[in-house]
Amino acid sequence: GESVGLHLPTLSVQEGDNSIINCAYSNSASDYFIWYKQESGKGPQFIIDIRSNMDKRQGQRVTVLLNKTVKHLSLQIAATQPGDSAVYFCAERGITGGGNKLTFGTGTQLKVEL
């Protein structure tokens, strides 16, 4: 299944299926992007990141795709498991006054159905 990740929608997938979570970012000058997973009652946890000089990066069961032309980022989760149920955030980096500032999207709720 697919979802657009700016209005906290819910993406429901069956266990074992692949998930695709989408995100549109705002700043064409952003040079770094990161995906976080937030489980209920916990803080965001790093999943995977990508720099703007790349268009794809793979981790363990996760892949991030970056399309700078349309300012679009996606997170693909292979063989989705119940433990993947969480809110997923994309974030882009902007530099401000020498500080490192991440701007987060509004998140997508992923629900894995057994």
Q: Which residues bind another protein (CB under 8 A)?
A: 8, 32, 34, 36, 38, 41-46, 49, 87, 89, 93, 96-104, 106-107
Return the number of the residue (38 or 76) whose C-beta is nearest another protein.
Answer: 38
Return the number of the residue (9 or 68) whose C-beta is nearest another protein.
Answer: 9
Cβ of residue 99: shortest distance to another protein, in angstroms?
Answer: 4
Q: What is the chain written as a DSSP string?
A: -EEETTS--EEEEETTS-EEEEEE-S-TT--EEEEEEE-TTS--EEEEEEETT-SEEE-SSEEEEEETTTTEEEEEESS--GGG-EEEEEEEEEEETTEEEEEE---EEEEEE-
Cβ of residue 92: shortest distance to another protein, in angstroms?
Answer: 10
Cβ of residue 102: shortest distance to another protein, in angstroms?
Answer: 7
CA dist list (Å): 90 to 15, 47, 69, 97? 23, 10, 17, 22
Return the number of the residue (17 or 94) whose C-beta is nearest another protein.
Answer: 94
Return the number of the residue (48 or 65) whose C-beta is nearest another protein.
Answer: 48
Cβ of residue 61: shortest distance to another protein, in angstroms?
Answer: 19
